[in-house]
Structure formats: C-alpha cells, structure tokens
Amino acid sequence: MSWKRGNRLRLVTDDIAPPRTREIFDDVRKCLGLPTVPVLYRAYAAAPEFLELHWQAFRPVVETRQFFLLSARLAAECYTRAHNYFEIPALRWRESGAHADGVLSISQVLDYYQYLDPLLLLIAATQMQAFEGPIGESHAPRDSAQHSTFPVAPALLKEKEATSAVQRVWDERRRILDLAFVSDEHHALACWPEGYLEYWSAIKHLLRSPLFADCQYRIAESAYGLARELPVKVEMEISQVIDAGIDSEQVSSLVRIHEALVQGLTGLMIDITFARIGCEGGTRSGVTPSPQTRSDPAPAQKPPATEPSTSSPTRAA
C-alpha cells in the first residue's frame, strides 16, 4: 500500500469489505453514533491488519465521555478562530423546496459535519502520536460516553450528477490544497449548487492565505495537545504495527496518510465552520456569537432542524 501525498486514497466500502472489517465498521458506527462509516475508517480498511490493531487500541477511547468533550473543544476553537479572524459574508443557502423524509436540510448537514470532523481529527492526531509512543492518561478518571446520534447521513452529490461549474470547484480545491479526493463534506454541500458556488467564491481566496494555513496549524496543534488528555493510554507504536504483520513500506504509507489526513481534516473543519457562520449572517453582521461546549453532551435521536447537535459548539457540520 505505497502512498504519497496527492495520490488517491484507497477507500473500502461495506460491499467489498471482508466479514471482520464489516464487523469493525458496524462497531465504529455504533460507538460514534453515525449512520455511515467515516472516510478515515474506510481508508484504514485498506490495511485490514492495521484496522484491527487500531480499533483494539481506540475502542476504549471512544467509549469515554471525555473523548467527545475534547472533540467539542476542538469544534469550539475552530468556530472562535474563524469568527474572530476571517471575513465571512452572509451566505444564502436556498432549500430546494420541501425535503423528503430522511433528507437533511443544509443546517442539519452542517450540524452533522461539525460533530463528525473534530472526532476524526482527534482520532487521527492521537494515532499519529501513538506511532511514536504511548499517548493518553491511563490513570485519569473516565465516564461512559454520551454523544449525539445521527440516524440519517447527508445526501452526497455524485460526480456524474454535478454541473461543470461544481466540478470545476472540486478540481480547483484539490489543486489549491493538494488533496487526494473530494471529501464527503463537499459532495454534501454541493447538493445546493447555487449556495455552494457562492460559498466557494467567498472562501477560495482564503485557502491561499497564510491566515488559513496558520489556522490549520493551530487547530492541529490543539488536537495533538488534547490527545494527551484522553483518559485511556493508547499504545500502538510502529514496532507493534510491524509485529502485527504490516511491512515497513506499508507503515511508511500509513504515517504519510495520517499526516495528510490531519491536514485535510483541519481544512474541512474550517470549511464547514465558514459555511455555518455564513449561514448565520457572517462576521459582518455586527453580532459576535459566543460558542460554548456543553459539559454533558446528551444523546440525540436525530439531527435537529435548526439547532446544532449537542456535541458541537452552541450556535444560532
């Protein structure tokens, strides 16, 4: 599984996954409260031995309440940075009529990814450090996980259904950020083509700026720091990975993939937060919201129509 930055990631789906991988996929969905398997774990599944070893080490982490609270802190930091440092215009995401049952609104889509992306960034940042040595606090108090549950995933616009204008946006974003694929987040936002094109016009200049890169760096640093506060010690050094039957070339590829994933996820967090603030009226409205994280995120039965999920910063994914 030789991989270098810019290559397309191999992503394993349920229909082609072996039985044990499907079992882990089911467990990931259950533990994170998701209806689908995140891209992070579909990428891990390209190396089944690694996925097995990783999940053995990380399942105890995602079973703790602290994991979700630390993730919420990441989301709150991203919101605060974006609101304080970026000039974000009001964005008009127009709903295309009444939604069918099970189809999420733009607000619910943003809720979903503002919940999910910080979780994945914290996992990827923890795994990146675990390659070098144990990470986390083995004797820290821990509580059982309480988190939102999303029974419905955002609809994703298929490439063959995208207009040429939307496809140009995807291609341009890939070039600017040197990405291996178009993320689910952007396939989801593009289900509202007019709003998506307006959003892209507003954000694309920011992607090339030192301010965007600095924000990515600082969010990643926060994720690395928060990983040390996890109430479970994660032990998954490179020597253990090799002992599990993964050769040195695969290990090198896994390390490079994680470096790219951490950078990619910080960018996606900013993207979704930018869209959220734009939907709220932007930073030019004269109102400065104060994002908060709840001390005890309670489970939810479905993504709320107008309020964010309980694991994300309080706002008017």
DSSP 190: T
Q: What is the pLDDT of residue 5?
A: 52
Q: pLDDT confidence of 259, banded at 50, 70, 90?
A: confident
Would the pLDDT of 2 be above 90? Answer: no
Q: pLDDT confidence of 7, banded at 50, 70, 90?
A: low
DSSP 3-70: --TTSPPP---TTTS-HHHHHHHHHHHHHHT-SS--HHHHHHTTSHHHHHHHHHHHHHHHTBHHHHHH
Q: pLDDT confidence of 260, banded at 50, 70, 90?
A: confident
Q: pLDDT confidence of 146, banded at 50, 70, 90?
A: confident
Q: What is the pLDDT of residue 314?
A: 32
Q: What is the pLDDT of residue 302?
A: 31
Q: What is the pLDDT of residue 277?
A: 95
Would the pLDDT of 177 be above 80? Answer: yes
Would the pLDDT of 97 be above 80? Answer: no
Residue 146 and residue 218 in contact, taking contact as beta carbons nearer than 8 Å: no
Q: What is the pLDDT of residue 180?
A: 75
Q: What is the pLDDT of residue 248?
A: 84
| Mean of pLDDT over the chain | 84
Select the more confidently predicted residue: 125 or 147.
125
Q: What is the pLDDT of residue 96?
A: 52
Q: How far apart are CA 275 and CA 117, in angstroms?
A: 14
Select the more confidently predicted residue: 232 or 142.
232
Would the pLDDT of 102 be above 70? Answer: no
Which of 144, 136, 147, 141 lies closest to 57 in space, CA to CA?
Answer: 136
Q: pLDDT confidence of 181, banded at 50, 70, 90?
A: confident
Select the more confidently predicted residue: 150 or 99.
150
DSSP 199-237: HHHHHHHHHTSHHHHHHHHHHHHHHHHHHTT-SS-B---
pTM of the model: 0.85
Q: What is the pLDDT of residue 1?
A: 40
Would the pLDDT of 98 be above 50? Answer: no
Q: What is the pLDDT of residue 44?
A: 92
Q: What is the mean pLDDT of residues 274-293?
A: 70
What digits encode the pLDDT tens for the residues 189-199? 999 999 999 99
Which of 258, 300, 244 lies closest to 9 in space, CA to CA?
Answer: 258
**Minimum mean pLDDT range among 17-26, 43-52, 132-141, 271-280:** 132-141
What digits encode the pLDDT tens for the residues 9-35? 788 888 899 999 999 999 999 999 999
> What are the boundaries of each domain within the chain?
19-279
Residue 218, judged by CB atoms within 10 A of its CB (0-12, 13-18, 19+), counts as: middle
Would the pLDDT of 284 be above 70? Answer: no
What digits encode the pLDDT tens for the residues 222-243? 999 999 999 999 999 999 889 8
CB atoms within 10 A of CB 316: 13
Q: pLDDT confidence of 221, banded at 50, 70, 90?
A: very high
Q: What is the pLDDT of residue 87?
A: 93
Q: What is the pLDDT of residue 70?
A: 95
